[in-house]
Chain A
Amino acid sequence: MSSKMVGSNNLAHARRMVQQLRVEASIERIKVSKASADLMRYCGENAKYDPLLMGIPASENPFKDKKPCTIL
């Protein structure tokens, strides 16, 4: 590979990197306080549907092994 080719590869790479940075620089950002508030609201609204957070009654737990009952 001639040094000229290596040079143009580096240039092509640099152009791509700049193009990528332009894309990333151009986005609109929101405040972390707003992002946090939205997530807190999402967690709050969905907490009551979260079995691992709320706990699962034994009778509704499909993974709990059902033990036979003996009536004495």
Chain B
Amino acid sequence: MGEMEQMKKEAEALKTQIEAARKAVHDTDMASAASGVAPAPRVQLKTRKNLKGHLAKIYAMHWSTDNRLMVSASQDGKLLIWDSHTGNKVNAVPLKSSWVMTCAYAPSGNLVASGGLDNMCTVYNLKTPVIKTVKELDAHTGYLSCARFLSDTEILTASGDTTCALWDLETGKQKTVFLNHVGDCMCLSLSPDMNSFVSGACDSLAKLWDIRDGQCKQTFQGHTSDINAISFLPSGNAFITGSDDCTCKMYDLRADQEVIGYQDAALNSGVTSLALSMSARLIFAGYDDFNCNIWDSLKGEKVGVLSGHDNRVSCTGVPPDGMCVCTGSWDSFLKIWN
């Protein structure tokens, strides 16, 4: 048998082995296990702030670790830094390329980053007297879909070129490239311990990566279309995904599989974004149908909806202290709810 034939046979055998191992531990699902848990209360949140300022579709937003400032990105070619308590704009960062798809706030609050169809991740220093571009990270061969700072010296990016990368912000070079997806990478989420991250892609797969050795450790199937949103649970053992297949799913790392899905026959819009409440009990998922649906993460039931945007909800975020949820939309507004 030629080596190619041998490889094919071994690949098939390994896939069968993985499926069997997953099945062997699938003694229940989350919803059944949680049948005795009291249902989450019906969640009715009010819009507390309506942030007007962008002149075009908003594509991304990210909270600062101070629970008060946030950055938003719009295809009007600007990043805006908002004080969410007052609703005031603290800073405006003009972008070289208006085709922005992502933005990020560094944990220190010193830096923000943006990127999009320019294939680059640009990092800005907010603390210099005038906001300065400190680095243009240029090596991806496809659009930048997501960026997240580990610190003021390292940032992770996800790209339409099917790779994710870890960059050194002092040299501006890629330290590690994460290769394994076969479709555009659309989103990433850092684990709470910062040793790993998960990515979602247009190949409908989610992957867990070790940040230091660059290796893909686990691959999670189940979605039937692009995964647009992904978020680690604060417990670090599971993550939630949102997809163009109109569903969200929770995957557990240690069980190595999907443990519950969040879907409704009446929902036939893709999921664009998602965020978790502090205890991880509530999932806020933004959809193409202009709404943000609220799911009980343990029982898989819809417990509320945030309606008010006049176009697709493109981004969602809960600050670290869990005091509100922010939604951003193609209608050019951001809303703060609690």
Contacts and interface: CB of A to CB of B under 8 A. Distances in A.
Contact of A43 (B4, B180, B280, B321): B280
Given A17-B11, A31-B25, A36-B30, A47 B281 contact: yes
A52 B323 CA distance: 6
Nearest to B41: A53
A20 B279 contact: no
User: Which bucket holds chain A's interface residue count?
Assistant: 35 or more
Given A23-B216, A25-B18, A39-B30, A46 B338 contact: no
Contacts of B278: 46, 49-53
A13 B290 CA distance: 42
B177 to A, nearest CB: 14
Contacts of A25: 14, 17-18, 21
A23 to B, nearest CB: 7
Interface of A is mostly: helix
B298 A31 contact: no
B323 A39 contact: no
B255 to A, nearest CB: 4
A43 B281 contact: yes
A39 B298 contact: yes
A2 interface: no
Most buried by B among A28, A30, A63: A63
Contacts of B7: 11, 14-15, 17-18
B85 A36 contact: no
Contacts, number: 169
B151 interface: no
A51 B277 CA distance: 8
Contacts of B132: none
B71 interface: no
Interface of B is mostly: loop
Contacts of A56: 323, 338
Contacts of A47: 279, 281
A50 to B, nearest CB: 4
A32 interface: yes
Interface string B226-257: 00000001110110000000000000101111
A28 to B, nearest CB: 8
A35 B338 contact: no
A34 B33 CA distance: 9
24 contacts: A10-B4, A14-B8, A14-B11, A20-B180, A23-B217, A29-B21, A30-B255, A31-B255, A32-B257, A39-B233, A39-B238, A39-B298, A43-B298, A49-B322, A50-B279, A51-B321, A51-B322, A51-B324, A52-B45, A56-B323, A61-B48, A62-B68, A63-B84, A63-B336
Interface of A: 10-11, 14-15, 17-18, 20-25, 27-40, 42-44, 46-47, 49-53, 56, 61-65
Nearest 3 pairs of A and B residues by beta carbon: A36-B33, A46-B279, A63-B48
